[in-house]
Amino acid sequence: MTKMMELLTTSINAQNESAAKIRGDIADIKDQMLDIQKSVGITDHKISSLATEQKVMKAEVQNLAGAVLKTDVKIASLEIDLQKLHVNSTGSVLRDLAPYDEVLSEESESVNFDERKNYDKSEVLKTVELITENCPEPTQIARIGKYKSDGSRPIKVRFESEETAKQILKNKNKLKSTSIKIFGDQTPYQQTRFKKLKDELNHRTLGGENNLQIKCTSNRHCSCKKLHSLNACCRNDKTTTYQIVNNYGDLAYNKKSLKFLYANVRSIVKPGKFDELCCIVKSLTPVVHIIVLVETWIKSDDEAKRLQIPGYTHYYHYRQNVVGGGVSIFATNSLKHYHIEELTQDDNQYIWIHLAKFSLDIGAVYKPGRTNGKQFLDTFLHQLNRRNRAVVLGDFNYNLLAPDNSVEDYKVTLQENGYRIMNKITPKYCTRETLTKKSLLDHISTNLKENQFSLAVIESSMSDHKQMFFEIDKYQPPLKRKIQYQSIDYGKLQMLTEEVMNNTKNIYWLDMVVKNNVDRLNPIWPPPSTALRGNIKC
């Protein structure tokens, strides 16, 4: 009996020692878990600190780059100012460096300021009368630089009208006098900038690039010059496919794309035309999400409200009390959309709507050929600057197949704002064709970068303009990179720990607790993209 009691006591003591050891191991495990959690927290903090430091360094680098650019400009300006101080023996400023507009002439030797001013005015008026008749008087006449009794300074002349200054510069060769020179206004910075552009033009031409020119923007004194490729905004890479079809059944399309139908209808209110449009929309197997019409010739709200396509919302803008013009957008009700803006200026008409799902602005524009090009581009530039992601369709009356200065200004306006023309600029893909001429007056432009596009030119009897079917395909993001790592299932770990604490006989569970690792495979998400995403309801 005594031996049995001793055996039981020994067994109990052994079990108590084992339980105490298990409790100690579990306590150590909990401490290790806490250490792991602290290490993870410290690591996250360090990553956050590194990201913050990276942003700060990036900002400092950008500021440094800006400071270097400003310093270069200042140095260039100082160099030119130093060159201007070199005056020849007759006291005339070096003519190659004369930066101001309009006239350089001999200066009065009078020491009286009013007498010199009246003399300058008289000389300027005599000079411009020799160049152009009935020239308006200048609004400002001033000599440039500090007065010297033994020197001659250039005269800066300002006119109220930009056209007056342009007319004088165009006809300055009529001036027979060799003692008076006329220049366009250029500041020292503009001279330096123009010289750099000429050097860049020569360098790129030698490098094999063709069709390059230095483009002067339309300012009063032609003060800003930039280098542009003639067709830079019209390059269409492999992201765009093209087709020409004679009937709507031959259209090749993507079921998940955003689809546009564009037409210059030349009076949708003419009997039978709107019914023809409804039949076209109904015959198309894919649902057309956006229908853009220009030259609708709508004359009133009542007339516009009668033009309704089932399943679409009609946004419209028309001329007040004038026949012609007009733009309309029909948007499918399967997408959420709303009106943004409409405008008529100098008979140019604009209307914009917004597609909420894709954060995309849709614009319809009609510009008659007779309107002022500069005023149109100024307004159009202002509208493009206000759009983050946009597609604009319309009849711009700029023939891309016959480029001239106005067409180049239009291309530059699009390019400088990040837009590209989606049309294929060849006679085969013209949008208006007569027996003697092909022209490309209807354009589609967008600033979307990562999408695939498709454009089809459709022969149509609705008007003398061909129609266009445009698609923006769903953006396909690159495959997500994945990384494999080990993590602890803390839920199971806690459950097993409690079971071991409550049941000292199941000592083997301790090994399962220690070895309880879980393999996981999580994606590393790429940075957010502004590309067009998501399926489109049909």
For residue range 200-252, what is the model confidence (pLDDT) as tens digits? Answer: 777 777 767 666 666 654 443 333 333 444 444 554 556 889 999 998 888 88
Does residue 408 register a pLDDT over 60? yes
**What's the confidence (pLDDT) of residue 178?**
61
Section 316-332 average pLDDT: 92
Section 66-81 average pLDDT: 72
Q: Element (H or E) spanning 345, and its range?
A: strand 337-345
Does residue 93 register a pLDDT over 50? no
Residue 263 pLDDT level (bands cut at 50, 70, 90) = very high
**What's the confidence (pLDDT) of residue 92?**
35
Structure letter (DSSP) for residue 295 = -
Section 124-137 average pLDDT: 82
195 vs 362 pLDDT, higher one: 362
Residue 115 pLDDT level (bands cut at 50, 70, 90) = confident
Section 461-472 average pLDDT: 94
77 vs 156 pLDDT, higher one: 156
**What's the confidence (pLDDT) of residue 243?**
94
Tokens for 250?
């031959």
Does residue 335 register a pLDDT over 90? yes
Q: Lowest-confidence range among 249-253, 336-340, 434-438?
A: 249-253
Cα separations in angstroms, 323 against 208, 266, 299, 306: 51, 11, 7, 18
Does residue 517 register a pLDDT over 50? yes
Measured from the Cβ of residue 218, the count of other Cβ atoms closer than 10 Å reads 14
> What share of the chain has pLDDT > 70, as a percent?
75
Q: Lowest-confidence range among 51-55, 301-305, 338-342, 383-387?
A: 51-55
Average pLDDT, the chain: 80
Does residue 492 register a pLDDT over 70? yes
Q: Lowest-confidence range among 66-80, 167-181, 183-197, 462-476?
A: 183-197
**What's the confidence (pLDDT) of residue 403?**
83
Indicate the fold that domain 237-472 takes in CATH.
Deoxyribonuclease I; Chain A (3.60.10)
Does residue 94 register a pLDDT over 50? no
Q: What is the CA 184 to chain-centroid distance, rounded?
A: 32
Instruction: 68-73: list long-range contacts, CB under 8 Å, 24+ apart.
Output: 73/189, 73/192
Buried b (16+ CB within 10 A) or exposed e, 412-443: bbbbebebbbbbbbeeebbbbeeeeebbbbbb
**What's the confidence (pLDDT) of residue 278?**
94
Contacts of 4 (CB under 8 A, 6+ apart): none
pLDDT digits (tens, 9 = 90+) for 16-62: 888 888 888 888 888 888 888 888 888 888 888 888 888 888 888 88
Does residue 262 register a pLDDT over 70? yes
Section 284-288 average pLDDT: 86
